[in-house]
A and B are shown apart, each in its own frame.
Chain A
């Protein structure tokens, strides 16, 4: 039985990773409107694996469906994607998504010990009829519009299909402008205002999904290609008006007139790092081999990554981390032992230094084990946005920022559901249902949701930003009054009203939709995030959109800290938050009208927060010229923190304070955690941003 369980666990793990891979692949392919030959091979391989593993586990429904899809892709592999006409493609993508969903459902049933589906005939019929369609079509119409007999074009060439879009624009962005892929996406969005989407295409095609395309664009520029010269003329203003565009050039594919075989050849040059203005008439064969290399490389990389992964239970990692933290502390206790004071121990010192660097390494490695990028969670949202934009007929682009931000595994688990909920909410309630409404408001007709992650000192900040209609304060307030959450007649600020959204039992949508608005809503997000000690804030401007910010503390992390003393207390300030440390004399201090103090640094005035007074400590320095000012900055907040003296810089292991003391709301005063110093004493870690906001309240 345990043997069986092990096998089952391995099977489930494999299925989950295969399905995730498949999801990414198909999403990217849908963006490009076609499968590359590599994609086809990959899907064929995945289906083959699913079929084999499922047969071994005797999961028949999974095996049968995987078998049929495998057959389907066998046909596509033989006949290449050109055998599938453009009309059939959307149907094909939907079919594959449906099958991924089917696999997921079945896997879930396996996990929860439910019987598998037995009636899969309707779905099978669907696949069969589609298979019949493409084999039939391929036979009936050997000369399908995009197929080019004789030249045997790769699927990738077909993907660019630039023979249809001979009139090009080659755009370079300002150097160092950053996020070139997003800028390209925005440029495309503005071009759409002038030109039907079906009348042009662009390269790289996956600028929206793949941040790596930014590098291609930096090196080679960004290509937009139009079906007619007229469309291009109309779209040029969009390029001209774009603030980030450095220069742009018009080019016509020289093959615009000659034979189709040549078209394919010349266009294939584009993915290579050769400016298209001077296409070299190289033989078609060479280009075909060059074009797919990048894809092949990435496929090879993927296979490699997969093989070198093992799954380890989190509890083992936790105990490893606990031991490592202990070692780090003990190491410091040994090497800084007061017994050694005054002794000259050359060999000991040398060995201790070596030990120090090794324990540092150990700590880094140990911490990195638990860290996973948020990309997997973010990628899942792509699928949700895709499905919902189809279902709700709201064209929406999802932009991911900071996908590679690494956070603790437990954090990833705790934010996955909240993010999904917020994204659904944005799709459902945020993005306008009517394109005309967006255009009237001067926005891009297609909605945009930005999902971003970044890490500051002691926390991860996740933001979901939509450019939808924003929160209607009056509607929310009325609703809150109806729900008994607000008092009629009372005055509520904009901030108060936004907070109603986070209250239990609040759902603004009058209709219950398939995706969100089941009466549970943002309050679930709030409670999920709070369960890991995080906070949720909403900002919104009517008509401009809404931003939901999740701030999640890092439970276990290592940080470079500056130890400072105030009275007999020791505090740790994250080095990343410190801009500058300096001494001032009383003469440089400016008093404001309310007894506040300020100091001028470069060309700005910054307020001074005295740690001693802020924390009502006994003891400590009162004269500004006897202590030290730390100019700190976190996010948009910048101020000077006045402390007695600096003790030194140290790498510290961040530990949360027990809930027992957190219950007194000390986090609101910037007491975010603590750390154990080399001598075993405890230092309190300060959160600069919270001190700032607390001081201002």
Chain B
């Protein structure tokens, strides 16, 4: 990290060793899904389950990105169409990811679910300010791959009506 600064190396090494350790435990599991040909990642801490073939009941008088509600074993769970939320045109193929964000259950409709990966917090880079989106908290490269993924801010999904 600071090989040129020989004189101060000791303390710096000690510090970076410490922060490395913290970063190792700072890895988090993310679920990667695809929506309108963009890869997104969402912390698995929020993910409850992934459903295919759900019947969504539409609710009148709500914005189009609120797809409706579903009956999940007797519980009424709201569903957000992620593609429409980001202003894209939804594709035919879709699946629903059920999330639990601070005790709020909500499902999001996406094109497809890709894989589960571990991402170190240090690998997540900030989004350039021109490209900022309130749902996206950072971006990174798929570990061992070349594609770029957008890291979603789960808590922001809880308050999309604001």
Contact residues of A with B, CB < 8 Å?
Answer: 322, 325-326, 329, 569-570, 615-617, 655-661, 663-666, 669, 671, 674, 676, 680-684
A664 touches B66 (CB 8 A): yes
Chain A nearest CB, measured from B67 CB (Å): 10
B60 touches A569 (CB 8 A): yes
**Assembled-state Cα–Cα distance A329/B63 (Å):** 30
B55 touches A661 (CB 8 A): no
Q: Which of B9-68 contact A (CB under 8 A)?
A: 55, 57-63, 66
A658 touches B71 (CB 8 A): no
Per-position binary interface string of chain B over residues 65-106, scored 1 when its CB falls under 8 Å from any chain A CB and 0 otherwise: 010011100101110000000000000000000000000111
A681 touches B57 (CB 8 A): yes
**Assembled-state Cα–Cα distance A322/B63 (Å):** 31
B78 touches A615 (CB 8 A): no
A680 touches B76 (CB 8 A): no
Chain B nearest CB, measured from A525 CB (Å): 26
Please indicate the chain A residues that have their CB under 8 angstroms from the CB of B70 in the complex. 682
A661 touches B60 (CB 8 A): no
A671 touches B60 (CB 8 A): yes
Interface CB pairs A-B, < 8 A, 21:
A326-B74, A570-B57, A616-B60, A657-B69, A657-B78, A661-B66, A664-B63, A666-B61, A666-B62, A669-B60, A671-B59, A671-B60, A671-B61, A674-B57, A676-B76, A681-B71, A682-B70, A682-B71, A684-B57, A684-B59, A684-B60
**Assembled-state Cα–Cα distance A129/B77 (Å):** 67
Chain B nearest CB, measured from A431 CB (Å): 42
Residue of B nearest to A615 (CB): B60
Chain A nearest CB, measured from B69 CB (Å): 6
Interface residues on B, range: 20 to 34
A616 touches B69 (CB 8 A): no
Residue of B nearest to A566 (CB): B60
A655-B76, A658-B77 are contacts. A680–B59 as well, Cβ < 8 Å?
no
CB of B161 within 8 A of chain A?
yes
Partner of A681 from the list B55, B74, B104, B161 (CB cut-off 8 Å) is B55
- Beyond known contacts A664-B61, A681-B57: 19 more, CB 8 A cutoff: A326-B74, A615-B61, A616-B61, A655-B76, A657-B59, A658-B69, A658-B106, A659-B104, A661-B66, A661-B69, A664-B66, A665-B61, A669-B60, A671-B59, A674-B57, A674-B69, A674-B76, A676-B71, A683-B57
Please indicate the chain A residues that have their CB under 8 angstroms from the CB of B104 in the complex. 658-660
B76 touches A657 (CB 8 A): yes
Chain B nearest CB, measured from A330 CB (Å): 9
Please indicate the chain B residues that have their CB under 8 angstroms from the CB of A569 in the complex. 57-58, 60
B76 touches A663 (CB 8 A): no
Please indicate the chain A residues that have their CB under 8 angstroms from the CB of B77 in the complex. 658
**Assembled-state Cα–Cα distance A684/B69 (Å):** 10
Contact residues of B with A, CB < 8 Å?
Answer: 55, 57-63, 66, 69-71, 74, 76-78, 104-106, 161
**Assembled-state Cα–Cα distance A655/B76 (Å):** 8
**Assembled-state Cα–Cα distance A329/B59 (Å):** 21
Please indicate the chain A residues that have their CB under 8 angstroms from the CB of B76 in the complex. 655-658, 674, 676, 682
Q: Which of B63, B69, B74, B77 has the most CB of A within 10 A?
A: B74
Residue of A nearest to B74 (CB): A326
Chain A nearest CB, measured from B158 CB (Å): 8
A674-B69, A682-B76 are contacts. A663–B60 as well, Cβ < 8 Å?
no
**Assembled-state Cα–Cα distance A118/B149 (Å):** 70
Please indicate the chain A residues that have their CB under 8 angstroms from the CB of B55 in the complex. 681
Please indicate the chain B residues that have their CB under 8 angstroms from the CB of A674 in the complex. 57, 69, 76
Residue of B nearest to A674 (CB): B76
Chain B nearest CB, measured from A40 CB (Å): 54
Residue of B nearest to A675 (CB): B76
Chain B nearest CB, measured from A697 CB (Å): 14
A669 touches B61 (CB 8 A): yes
Please indicate the chain B residues that have their CB under 8 angstroms from the CB of A322 in the complex. 74
B106 touches A660 (CB 8 A): yes
Please indicate the chain B residues that have their CB under 8 angstroms from the CB of A657 in the complex. 59, 69, 76, 78
Residue of A nearest to B105 (CB): A658
Q: Which of B58, B59, B69, B70 has the most CB of A within 10 A?
A: B59
A661 touches B62 (CB 8 A): yes
**Assembled-state Cα–Cα distance A684/B60 (Å):** 9
**Assembled-state Cα–Cα distance A681/B78 (Å):** 14
**Assembled-state Cα–Cα distance A569/B59 (Å):** 9
**Assembled-state Cα–Cα distance A676/B78 (Å):** 14
**Assembled-state Cα–Cα distance A456/B62 (Å):** 26
Residue of A nearest to B70 (CB): A682
A325 touches B74 (CB 8 A): yes
Q: Which of B58, B61, B161 has the most CB of A within 10 A?
A: B61
Please indicate the chain A residues that have their CB under 8 angstroms from the CB of B69 in the complex. 657-658, 661, 674, 682
**Assembled-state Cα–Cα distance A665/B76 (Å):** 18
Q: Which of A325, A655, A658, A665 has the most CB of B within 10 A?
A: A658
Chain B nearest CB, measured from A496 CB (Å): 25
**Assembled-state Cα–Cα distance A658/B60 (Å):** 14
Chain B nearest CB, measured from A619 CB (Å): 11
Please indicate the chain A residues that have their CB under 8 angstroms from the CB of B78 in the complex. 657-658, 660-661
Partner of A661 from the list B59, B71, B74 (CB cut-off 8 Å) is B59
Please indicate the chain B residues that have their CB under 8 angstroms from the CB of A326 in the complex. 74
Residue of B nearest to A694 (CB): B61
Residue of B nearest to A655 (CB): B76
**Assembled-state Cα–Cα distance A454/B77 (Å):** 31
Residue of A nearest to B60 (CB): A615
**Assembled-state Cα–Cα distance A461/B59 (Å):** 26
B62 touches A664 (CB 8 A): yes
Please indicate the chain B residues that have their CB under 8 angstroms from the CB of A655 in the complex. 76
Please indicate the chain A residues that have their CB under 8 angstroms from the CB of B63 in the complex. 664
**Assembled-state Cα–Cα distance A569/B61 (Å):** 13
A680 touches B71 (CB 8 A): yes
**Assembled-state Cα–Cα distance A244/B57 (Å):** 53
**Assembled-state Cα–Cα distance A684/B74 (Å):** 15
Chain B nearest CB, measured from A459 CB (Å): 19
A657-B76, A681-B55, A682-B71 are contacts. A663–B61 as well, Cβ < 8 Å?
no
